Structure 1
Amino acid sequence: MGNARRLRAGLRGWGGVGAMATVCVLALVFALVLTRAGSPAAKAPKTPEAAGHTVTDAIGADADAKCTDPEKQTLPPSDEDGVTIDAIKNRPGEKRKLIVGIDQNSYRWGYRDPNGGGGARLEGFDIDLAHRIAEDILGDRDAVQFKAIPTDQRISAIKDGRVDMVVRTMTINCERLRDVAFSAPYFRTGQQVLAPKASSITGYDKTLADRRICTAAGSTAYAKLEEDQAAGRLPKSADIRTTVPNQLDCLVRLQLGEVDAVVTDGALAASQAAQDPTVELKGDAFTTEYYGVAMEQNAKDLLRRVNRILVDFREDTGDGWQKAYETWLSATLGSDPAKSEPPAPQYLRTS
């Protein structure tokens, strides 16, 4: 099993910042063409992540009432199978795979390396974690079907049954716990500002006045900006209207001069800065957030199994969390992973 779990050791380059910028711009142009052509995605209704909604689910209401430390609202680990895992294992033939919602545009988290060969195979920290989960449940790390899910469609993809889980730099918070269940945290990060190096913006402060800020729709970044602007902690003149389906689209908008700054998770912002040396992180992180694996609320056996897998992943010093960090993230977040390590898990959900 050690060989099966071995993470891909070598990082592959992007073949030049110019090429990456071109890809980003082309991706944005293509998306705009689809929108103007009336694509189904452009006409899709707002999801629970992007708009307010009435919560009627009993589990969700209970989670919301008890939610003070959202990263602790999860079930204890277990090896036991149940109805959810049995259903996954009983899928016939080629369909016997774990279906995982991921990002394919987040450098070193979940992305396709254009220089990687083999059809630009998906790789990154989140991708390796998904392989690990598939290996444990189905005995084959490649028994996984990846589905690229936009940021603003993560919750609806779970609730609609399009995926078994989402492993996509998804922050655990109380609002989302109304709709989905989360594993224990597997990564710690915080919101930061990304802006051109030549910009006079210094961080999440008064220098954002009269600036256009881009965030991903349905993201915790947008929710924080909206909350802080209403409370007077963010200048009223800061323009936060620009939202995009995927957080990488904000980097494209920044490159095109359509916005002045991006606010996103520091872990993602660092990867974006690595793609474009003309931008940089401005100031320190101004929140503390934790990534978790999201799944359907009633999939209790799957939730318990994922939490047990995460315990093993963290404790595996040879081929686990530490190795994944070194392989994918040390180049952008630094060689010391201490600030990114998840806290010791606590399991406060009781049913």
Structure 2
Amino acid sequence: MDGPDATTTTGRPVAPGRRTGRLRGWGGVGSMAAACALALAVTVSVLLCPGRDAGHRAGTSGTGVAHARQAVATRSCRGPEASLRPSAAAGPAVRRIQARGYLVVGVDQSSYLWGYRDPATGRITGFDIDLVRAIARDLLGPDPRIVYKTVPTDERIPAIRSRQVDMVVRTMTVNCDRIRQVAFSTAYFVAGQQLLVPRAGSEVTGFDTSLKGKNVCTASGSTGQALLDEGAHGARVVLVPNQLDCLVRLQLGQVDAVLTDNALAAGQAAQDPAVHLIGAPLTREPYAVAMNPADTDLVRRVDKVLDDYRGGGASGPWMRAYTKWLARDLPGVTGPPAPRYRD
């Protein structure tokens, strides 16, 4: 774990100033896929890269958006976004991390703008990673050691529950199923499920009967999978380990559409201008930091970090990260979501 390599870093910024040049079209995806392949040799936990086999399932036919929204609503619980009140106290979980001397975080390395391996540096960077560094500095001081473990979407919860990681910061949506398995901080971003399709030649017009008989890709264990499982649309569902796999399959013509968080899809469209988002967001997707339910002191500490991170208005840490990473491809966001607490 020693040294500033691909998975263990000192927490120092990858590069000063603005992010590196855009990754467009096949060049961008090829660079990302190459970085993913390289990472298999050095990452602590293996991230499945594009080209792996994926499962197919047939959806059911029906009325589309209304049915999908109703189905998701029936799964809802009261206030899943509400977290614990913030505290700077160092309880057992915080002391454990401090005694160890480094923070272990589950992240993505293939979601452009959020958590991705920069081909120019070989380092993991993005909006989520800026937040990781803020948490690590609070826990460990100004020059923290961070171990990044890249985890596929459907392994995020097992990694937390088995304590392979201290937390996951990986565009992870808070929902009713997940709060029964892991604990969440307050939300640090809000996205929504939306379809990504080719700009030219697509017959898909939205989450409706235009999907009938089409292949729709989403990540296994994602909110997109839950929506496709519950929605009546008639599509064949293609499951992959990570959302970048869906973009590659869309470019190869193996699928007709991708269903994912629009925040992630904005990054994919930034990589390839031949694809774009269509329709309105189908859901409200609050992203939060996920932790082990037993680590209540760590949840409160992260909520305290997020309180500070949201502050400062246009010159504060959250808005600086948004401007740096997301504003160009996901415009119109005026600030972070307000925190909600349950006690």
Q: Please give the range of the TM-score, normalised by the shorter of the 2 chains.
A: 0.7 to 0.9
Residue pairs, 1:97-116, within 5 angstroms: 97-115=102-120
Report how many residues are paired: 300
Q: Which amino acid aligns with 1:207?
A: S
Q: Which among 273, 280, 284 is matched to residue 277 of structure 1?
A: 273
Q: Which among 198, 203, 206 is matched to residue 196 of structure 1?
A: 198
**Residue 20 and residue 41 in structure 1: after superposition, are their counterparts in 2 closer, same or farther (change >3 A)?**
closer
Moved over 3 A (4+): 4-8, 23-28, 39-42
Taking the aligned partners of 2:132 and 2:32, their CA distance within structure 1 comes to 25
Q: Which amino acid aligns with 2:318?
A: W
Whether the aligned pair in 2 keeps the contact of 1:24 and 1:249 (CA below 8 Å) is no
TM-score, length-scaled by structure 1 = 0.79
2:132 pairs with 1:130? yes
The equivalent residue for 1:79 is: 88
2:339 pairs with 1:345? yes
Q: What are the Cα deviations for residues 203-249 of structure 1, in whole angstroms up to 9, with x where unaligned?
A: 222221221100000001110111112xxxxx2x2111x10111111
Taking the aligned partners of 2:143 and 2:206, their CA distance within structure 1 comes to 41
The equivalent residue for 1:214 is: 217
Q: Which amino acid aligns with 1:331?
A: R
Taking the aligned partners of 1:239 and 1:40, their CA distance within structure 2 comes to 25
Residue pairs, 1:150-299, within 5 angstroms: 150-198=152-200, 199-229=202-232, 235=233, 237-240=234-237, 242-299=238-295
TM-score, length-scaled by structure 2 = 0.81
Taking the aligned partners of 2:48 and 2:246, their CA distance within structure 1 comes to 18
Taking the aligned partners of 2:263 and 2:47, their CA distance within structure 1 comes to 31
Q: What are the Cα deviations for residues 13-47 of structure 1, in whole angstroms up to 9, with x where unaligned?
A: 1465332233466689x69xxxxxxx9989xxxxx
Q: Which among 315, 322, 334 is matched to residue 325 of structure 1?
A: 322
Identity %: 48
**Residue 25 and residue 75 in structure 1: after superposition, are their counterparts in 2 closer, same or farther (change >3 A)?**
closer
Specify the SS of the correspondent of 1:70: coil
Q: What are the Cα deviations for residues 313-339 of structure 1, in whole angstroms up to 9, with x where unaligned?
A: 0013334110000000011102x313x
Taking the aligned partners of 2:222 and 2:150, their CA distance within structure 1 comes to 16
Q: Which amino acid aligns with 1:11?
A: R
The equivalent residue for 2:60 is: none
Q: What are the Cα deviations for residues 83-122 of structure 1, in whole angstroms up to 9, with x where unaligned?
A: 000111111xxxx11111000101010111212x3xx211
Offset, 1:343: 3.1
Whether the aligned pair in 2 keeps the contact of 1:14 and 1:20 (CA below 8 Å) is yes
List gaps (5 residues or longer) in structure 2. Answer: 1-11, 39-45, 50-74
CA RMSD of aligned residues (A): 2.7
The equivalent residue for 1:35 is: none
The equivalent residue for 2:29 is: 21
Taking the aligned partners of 1:15 and 1:176, their CA distance within structure 2 comes to 33
Whether the aligned pair in 2 keeps the contact of 1:244 and 1:250 (CA below 8 Å) is yes
Whether the aligned pair in 1 keeps the contact of 2:76 and 2:176 (CA below 8 Å) is no
Offset, 1:68: 1.1
Specify the SS of the correspondent of 2:190: strand
Specify the SS of the correspondent of 1:254: helix
Whether the aligned pair in 1 keeps the contact of 2:173 and 2:223 (CA below 8 Å) is yes
List gaps (5 residues or longer) in structure 1. Answer: 32-38, 43-64, 230-234
Taking the aligned partners of 2:15 and 2:322, their CA distance within structure 1 comes to 10
Offset, 1:138: 0.6
Q: Which amino acid aligns with 2:18?
A: G
Specify the SS of the correspondent of 2:250: helix
Taking the aligned partners of 1:112 and 1:16, their CA distance within structure 2 comes to 15
Taking the aligned partners of 1:130 and 1:149, their CA distance within structure 2 comes to 15
Whether the aligned pair in 1 keeps the contact of 2:310 and 2:317 (CA below 8 Å) is yes
